[in-house]
A and B are shown apart, each in its own frame.
Chain A
């Protein structure tokens, strides 16, 4: 290819990427712009791209006046707890099938079972879950959401963790066992530290799913004691009014936490997500 041809290709690529970036970034920009608008701005016949009179009132309204700050805390508590539970259970399932001499048939069964859970649409089980939760007295309580979220994200955690654990050579752990270490000691001091990149990736991904979940939170809760942030934000569409600026502020706040986590740990997440994608034992 000639020098001119390369330049044209580079220019075309840049333009294409810029257009794609714009398509992806514009909704986010408009969300932020709307979150800074006043009610009067929203009533203008022609919507403006930039807030004419920028204000942080919608953020104050969402976090304090409407009391969504408590819902934010609920979301964090549920997200962290459900992620912790899912990862603990996933470890308990993945360890035997990756580190112990389990039969390939058992491995396949466990992994396929986990995958089948993931394909189950949440709406198919929401009524039985509702009945169970009310029977055991957990309706409108955070532990109900923690358990349900952990169950629903367990397959994802299992499949991701299994990929990471498969990548860690058995020989390292076996060397420790030969030297007299117990299985628990080898797990704690060798396997866990070696798989931390993978664990971090699983934590971020599972937490992001927990964070964005709406349907179970909506069905299984009744008051702000147990409601999560997405349920609160959705409530801003009222019968006679759609409170766009508050809703946009809620959207920005909802994005901030998973986005921050992703930015902080993006190196681990990227390497975690590409871990074990080539090889399959």
Chain B
């Protein structure tokens, strides 16, 4: 066929197809578009979509993006005042950014009220400005609004191999002692560090930091990452735990940790509920079926173990044209029977009664621990729209320390200095 014949055939097809496929998404309440994080976190949500269509006649279009991309896409959509998304999934550290920017609708007037079967911290983490802890200076005068409701109850926990030590570690001293014992036997890594730069290593480290009595900020936004307790926590990770950890902890992310654990090459580590089902409990790949126990974060020098919250919330963008329909979906999703179905389909619920339901614990042995962790309550990451930058600073220094580029003390003082400069520049009364 001659070139012009090809062009005559292909170009009109392409242009017609372009015109057909470029129509904007429907703004009617017969369809809701949800921006969701790609991965296990939205597995339950996807399972609910046909059920909602059947019960309410509303199509759920779930648009998935990976973690970092989802954040960028949401920021772009909010900046564009785009009405594509009727509902958005957001990690709880994103709340300060979206709350400060005023991108989300208040769910209270849309009929969403607190339910005592859901832990108070779940409501608090979706409230902006935050009901406890330090509040950003620019947000102090704003009225409190419920901007998000947790749909993935995610609190960092701890896992260990019960076939190697029947009793799990109650404290970080025991974590280290057990790790040394297991390492001496030479068959497994005594501790698996998720040490990849930025978010991964920070997520791994903050429960250690808090449990050991350290912190990033005090109640007045002063940086305390370089005080004695915080330095001791960094030293514990970079020197003590690294000595008994897997090779290349600085290059290890969650998927690597899960592979090490599922292959029976690791003894213990922290773990997010969201990652448990991808490997450690996946019968298709795990070599440690029934050999892993999930427990709360062990206690540190502070006398308590402090888990970290990583809840995924559902919020409604102000630009959505289907505000009430979106709120109705949230209400439906929080109902107990929906949460049961959600949990049976790899969703991680937040209702205490569902998390403690005996019929679910065989497939999800960590549910009761998660219920207790939510009631504890866990810590959330500092509620500031500067958190992404703060996390990058801490995560870069910790990774550098884990890979031998600087000492633990240098990481502490270096990160603290950079965070002070950042926060002062952002208008915080940081010292």
Residues of A whose CB lies within 8 Å of any CB of B are 38-40, 43, 45, 73-74, 76-78, 80-81, 84, 130, 134, 139-143, 146, 192, 196, 199-200, 218-219, 222-226, 234-242
Contact = CB atoms under 8 A, between A and B. Distances in A.
Given A192-B4, A234-B66, A239-B254, A77 B14 contact: yes
Nearest to A141: B22
Q: For the complex of A and B, list the 8 residue pairs with the smallest distance between their C-beta atoms, beginning with the closest.
A: A238-B39, A240-B275, A80-B14, A134-B80, A239-B67, A141-B22, A142-B22, A43-B285
13 contacts: A43-B259, A43-B279, A77-B14, A80-B13, A84-B14, A130-B76, A139-B80, A140-B24, A222-B84, A223-B33, A236-B38, A238-B37, A240-B258
Contact of B285 (A40, A218, A236): A40
A81 B22 CA distance: 13
Contacts of A38: 284
Interface stretch (B57-65, B99-107, B158-166, B339-347): B57-65
Given A40-B285, A139-B82, A240-B278, A80 B73 contact: no
Contact of B21 (A74, A84, A235, A241): A74
Interface residues of B, number: 55
Interface string B250-275: 00001100110011010000001011
Interface of B: 2-4, 7, 10-11, 13-15, 17-18, 21-25, 33, 35, 37-41, 61, 63-67, 69, 72-73, 76-77, 79-82, 84-85, 254-255, 258-259, 262-263, 265, 272, 274-275, 278-279, 282, 284-285
Nearest to B283: A40
Contact of B11 (A81, A235, A242): A81
Contacts of A238: 37-40, 66-67
B145 to A, nearest CB: 25
B66 A235 contact: yes
A225 B66 contact: no
B147 to A, nearest CB: 20
A157 B21 CA distance: 27
A242 B255 contact: yes
A81 B15 contact: yes
A239 B17 contact: no
Contacts of A43: 259, 262-263, 279, 285
Given A142-B21, A196-B3, 10 more contacts: A39-B284, A76-B14, A77-B18, A81-B14, A219-B72, A222-B77, A226-B22, A235-B38, A240-B258, A242-B255
